[in-house]
Amino acid sequence: MSTISVIIPAYNRAHLIGETLSSLLMQTTAANEIIVVDDGSTDNTAAVAKSFGPPVKVICRVNGGPAAARNTGFHASSGEYIHFFDSDDLAAANKQEIQLAALEATGADIAIGPLVQGRFDGNRFAASNHVQYQHGLPSEKNLIKVLLTHWSFLLHAALFRRSIVEKAAGFSEDLFGPEDQFMFLGCLLAGARVVHTPGTIEFYRQGDGGKITENMEWAVLRLREWARFLIKARKACLEKDIEPLQWFGYRRRLWEVKQDLENAICIDVGLMNQLRDLSPDGLAAMICHWHRQIERWHGGLQQRMTGGRAHVSFCMGPITAEQISLLDKLGYSYEPPRRLPRFPNKKRLQY
């Protein structure tokens, strides 16, 4: 029988990790082990996790960031399939069942399912947008190109074969934030086959001040780490005779992060020099500038029409009745995203 290991890095999540573990313990295909890696928490995260008992296991380590915590959990795990999950999100009860069945039926290495972002308020989940990956994966067959040009991968929406994580050498501990993107890139460069798994959903918690990606300090750090990811990703691709600079979207991302870092007065001279060497200049830079402006205008219109700005490659769509039912089974009611008016009048635009 196939075995599943869930790996959860946690830092000061005592107030949330109980809900996360409860959703994972409700899985219709149970994990053989749920490994919580307490990454140097200063609250009682470890104690809350330990209170659940088997199959929950707790590993405590000195704070080293999410990549190191996930690697620690992975090396301590034994499952044939690996479910990396966040310490504050919730999984529909059938997530592991559907994704495991898809991997075994197709022989694929990674299964990616729908995900919706929103805020939890008591027993209510208020969605902030439509569901990502609702209608499948990007139509572009070259996922490496898609990942480095206009898409991103959400780690916790997936289930992995252990073998592909090993081929990717786990998470790069010198990245803080995009380490999941680089691990996924490593899987793709190792030849990973990826399948989409509709019929399930993950609920991604927003509005938590402790979440790395919602911390104000992270907004500045994110730029530097994203630049480092783009440069590191190119080096990894070149080892496989793939040159990302041939793709406009990748060049535009380099130009964009260089511009943003210059505006933030980045003092990392070495990093800025690398970006200047790789980024477009002259007419090419002007094209990048106008492409970014058009994308922003398009995003603003799309925001008013659909409630979200995500690129078409995220294959977004409204939540289904079946997915709302899965949320109900977790004990939460669903509130749809609040959309801006299609044609707002001047009074509604006043502040």
Say what the pLDDT of residue 151 is: 93
Q: Are 114 and 323 in contact (CB under 8 A)?
A: yes
Strand partners, 59: 37
pLDDT tens per residue across span 137-172 = 998 889 999 999 999 999 999 999 999 999 999 999
Q: How far apart are CA 69 and CA 183, in angstroms?
A: 14
Residues written for the chain: 351
For residue 344, pLDDT over 60 is answered with no
pLDDT tens per residue across span 52-64 = 999 999 999 999 9
Q: Which amino acid is at 333?
A: S
Q: What percent of the chain lies above the pLDDT cut of 70?
A: 87
The mean of the pLDDT values for the chain is 89
Phi, psi of 205 (to 5 degrees): -80, 125
Burial class for 295, CB neighbours closer than 10 Å (0-12, 13-18, 19+): middle
Q: At 291, is the pLDDT very low, low, confident or very high (cuts 50, 70, 90)?
A: low
pLDDT tens per residue across span 300-332 = 565 555 556 677 888 999 999 999 999 999 999
* Residues contacting residue 39 through CB under 8 Å, at least 6 positions apart: 9, 10, 11, 61, 63, 64, 65, 66, 68, 69
Q: How far apart are CA 52 and CA 35, in angstroms?
A: 12
Among residues 41, 32, 33, which one has the least CA distance to residue 9? 41
Q: How far apart are CA 280 and CA 282, in angstroms?
A: 7
On the CB side of 110, how many CA atoms lie within 13 Å of its CA?
Answer: 26
Q: How far apart are CA 153 and CA 191, in angstroms?
A: 16
For residue 339, pLDDT over 70 is answered with no
Q: At 1, is the pLDDT very low, low, confident or very high (cuts 50, 70, 90)?
A: confident
Q: At 264, is the pLDDT very low, low, confident or very high (cuts 50, 70, 90)?
A: confident
Q: Chain-centre distance of CA 38, in angstroms?
A: 20
Q: Which domains does the chain have, with CATH numbers?
A: 4-213 (3.90.550.10), 215-311 (no CATH)
Q: What is the 3-state secondary structure (H, E, C) of the chain?
A: CCCEEEEEEECCCCCCHHHHHHHHHCCCCCCCEEEEEEECCCCCHHHHHHCCCCCEEEEEECCCCHHHHHHHHHHHCCCCEEEECCCCCEECCCHHHHHHHHHHHHCCCEEECCEEEEEEECCEEEECCCEECCCCCCCCCCHHHHHHHCCCCCHHHEEEEHHHHHHCCCCCCCCCCCHHHHHHHHHHHCCCCEEECCCCCEEEECCCCCCHHHCHHHHHHHHHHHHHHHHHHHHHHHCCCCCHHHCHHHHHHHHHHHHHHHHCCCCCHHHHHHHHHHCCCCHHHHHHHHHHHHHHHHHHHHHHHHCCCCCHHHCCECCCHHHHHHHHHCCCEEECCCCCCCCCCCHHHCC
Say what the pLDDT of residue 208 is: 63
pLDDT tens per residue across span 76-122 = 999 999 999 999 999 999 999 999 999 999 999 999 999 999 999 99
As a whole number, mean pLDDT of residues 25-53 equals 97
Q: Which amino acid is at 78?
A: S
- CA-based max dimension of the chain: 62
Say what the pLDDT of residue 280 is: 76
